[in-house]
Structure formats: C-alpha cells, structure tokens
Amino acid sequence: MPTQFPAFSRLLHWTMAAMILTMLCIGVAMVASLGSYYVLVSIHRPLGIAILILVVVRFVNRLLNPPPPFPATMSRAECRVATASEFLMYGLMFILPLVGWGMLSAARYPIVLFGSVHLPFILPHNVMLYSVLRMAHTFLAYLFFLTFIAHFGAILFHTLIVRDGILKRMAPWNIR
C-alpha cells in the first residue's frame, strides 16, 4: 500500500501551494496599494493564468494517480470532509482565474501575459457583468483563504496533536 502521493503529485502540490499563497497575498495587497499596484497587477494576471493551466494538469493527474489512503486515525466522516475540501480547493483554483479572466474581459482590460502576448476577451463588454464578477472574485478569494486556513490548521492538528504522520503523505522527500 503506498503511503505517499506520487512524486509528480507532490511536486504539483507544493509548486501550486507556493503560487496560490503568493497569489492570495498579491491580490489582497494590490487592491490596497497605490505605489505597488501596477507591479502587483502585472504579476497577478499571468500568475493566475499559470494556476489555471496547472490545475487542469493537476486534476487529470489526480484522476490518473489516486491519493494514498488517509491515516487510520481519521473517521469515515473526517475522510469525507477532507476529500470534499480538496475538491473545493481544486474548484477554486479553476474558477478564480476564470472569473478573473471573465471580469477583465467584460471591462475590456487587457490580460497581458508577457510582452505583446495577451489573452482574448471571453465575455462581451458589459460593466454590470464586470461588477458582479469583480465581487465574485473577491468573495471566492476570501473563501479560498479560509479554506487554506482550515487545511493548514487540520494538518497542524494531525501532525502535532493526533501525531498520525499525515504530513508524510505529501512530504516533498520520499519516505521509506
């Protein structure tokens, strides 16, 4: 019985964890910033698109490489909540960049990746639509942050209090 996620899954997890935390921090900082706004927005947009691409890879990988079982310390209900929260996070990784792309399209803000490379608009020019998506973007981002806090808290609890070695499943190094 494998006790760890496959190496590629772990690579995706930690890479995306760093990207998403960076993204949430940039997002919340840029809307409150005057001097750094432009630099932060210029990172936020291409980084969001990178996350959108990676989450598709990650979802396919998840279907091809199922995760190892949860520790026996976890009840059936706990396992179900944990799995549901994982899929909630996959959903947010997918929907947040897509809402961002959509809202920028509806406002006719260019989505520049680098140089002159930019994405097409995926929605008609409609500022009311922009307004709704803009609010949804903020709401979903806060939801993602709360989900992250729950995820982080649960891992700490299992690691430090239950001490069931749950972190080893996702450890960046191979456990033998």
Binding site for another protein (CB under 8 A): 24-25, 28-39, 41, 71-73, 107-110, 115-116, 118, 120, 125-128, 130-132, 134-135, 145, 148-149, 152-153, 156-157, 160-165
Nearest distance in Å: CB 167, another protein: 13
83 touches 91 (CB < 8 A): no
| Least Cβ distance, residue 66 to another protein (angstroms) | 20
Which residue lies nearer to another protein by CB, 52 or 155? 155
Residues 146 and 61: beta-carbon distance below 8 Å: no
**Shortest CB 164 distance to another protein, Å:** 7
Of the pair 30, 49, the CB lying nearest another protein is at 30
Nearest CB to another protein, comparing residues 8 and 125: 125
**Comparison of 32 and 63: residue with beta carbon closer to another protein:** 32
State how far the Cα of 67 lies from the Cα of 65, in Å rounded to an integer.
6
Give the three-state DSSP class for 112. strand
Q: How far is the CB of 61 from another protein (least distance, A)?
A: 27
Q: Tell me which residue of 58, 50, 53, 52 sits closest to 5, measured CA to CA.
A: 58
CA distance to 29, 153, 174, 175, per residue, from 5 (Å): 33, 20, 10, 10
